[in-house]
Structure 1
Amino acid sequence: MKSQIVHPEEKTIIEVSEDTQFVVLPANYLDEKSYSLELIFNKEGVSAEIVCMYVLPQNGKLRLTTVATHIVPHTSCNTIVRGVLDTGSESYYTGKIIIKKTAQQTSSFLSDRALVIGNGTKNNSEPILEIDADDVKASHGASTGKIDKNELYYLQTRGLTEKEASDLIIAGFFNKILDTIADPAVRQLVASAVTADISVTEMVES
């Protein structure tokens, strides 16, 4: 499966013609724009992934919608969203799976996880499933968590500052997803962008 970076606009639509992993990198966390990425599956047998990783700075905002629209049989999509929210930041994510009646034997899954490291955040996750076929597999899951204080304390006993320990834990939150990016050049670019965003986060909440 090839990897492709996508910088979504207000309405980005891609017809999936071959097995592809689409890695979403939002462009700006300080505006009120909404971003949307829709994958359309109208070729039998193709598979795709949508992978989105974001680190919201203080008072940052993200409004993102992803849509997987399955029209023909035997297609699959896995949508993975991982985000970190610093103090005062807001995330509004809508993940939509559409499976038409003509798209039997399709599988489509959605996973959205957020890690909160500051106070006064808003994390809104809205999964939407529109399924008209009966021989399909589809599911969604969403969760929000905080940094484990015991893990943070342990890392500090190993000589790290609180900020260094926090950054290491946040990086680990993303590493499993980064490792799924097959293209080394794309993986390195995304890892560098995530690392840069992590470096400007503030200390975790007390």
Structure 2
Amino acid sequence: ADLEQKITFDPPKYVTFKPIADEQIKEVIISNTYNQAVMFKMKTTRPGVFKMKPVFFALQPNQKKAIKLHYSGCPDGVKPNLKDRFSVIMAIVPKDAPADWDVEKVWEDQKMQVELADSVKRKVLRIHYEGYELPADAPEKSERKSKKKKRGSKDDKSIDDKKVEREKMAAAAAANALAQVAGQPQPFPHVQPIVYIVYQGLPPKEEIEAK
């Protein structure tokens, strides 16, 4: 089963706040019913207005946690932004994570980005303001950025491999050329010699006419 189906949220789709100037605190309970430890990172569209505690955390199998969602309030006469939302980024804890690992550091560790990219998912918790229409459901999306990083690192590796291969071939061809000049057998007979063609251009117009 997909990771996003094994992580449950209560409330499941949206959190309700009153569009008033008072500060408000709500909770979302996140449960891990997956058979592996899962790490989380909380995000929001407006960090200056919404706060999450904790932001980084991990849940062992069958463990759950209450996340505090703080809303600083909506100033009088100001219409709330109906596109406000929280995002919960989640991924299976890497197998090679250190014993004394820190969730935030693992999220930021470039060496673990490739492994994280295989399982990263995003859950959107929309914000509903009382007196306004319920927010529309958003399709769940996997973390495309992380996957792009993964693909990018793979491409970079293949480019590096090709470069190394070219350098090896050039070195082998040079060794063959030196052996040939010295009248010795070529050490790399399977490598084709590198032929350099020097283009000197057409002779001057006057020279052509003279011929």
Q: Answer yes or no: same fold by TM over 0.5.
A: no
State the TM-score, normalizing by the size of structure 1: 0.27
> Which of the pair has more CA radius of gyration?
2
State the TM-score, normalizing by the size of structure 2: 0.27
More helix by share: 2
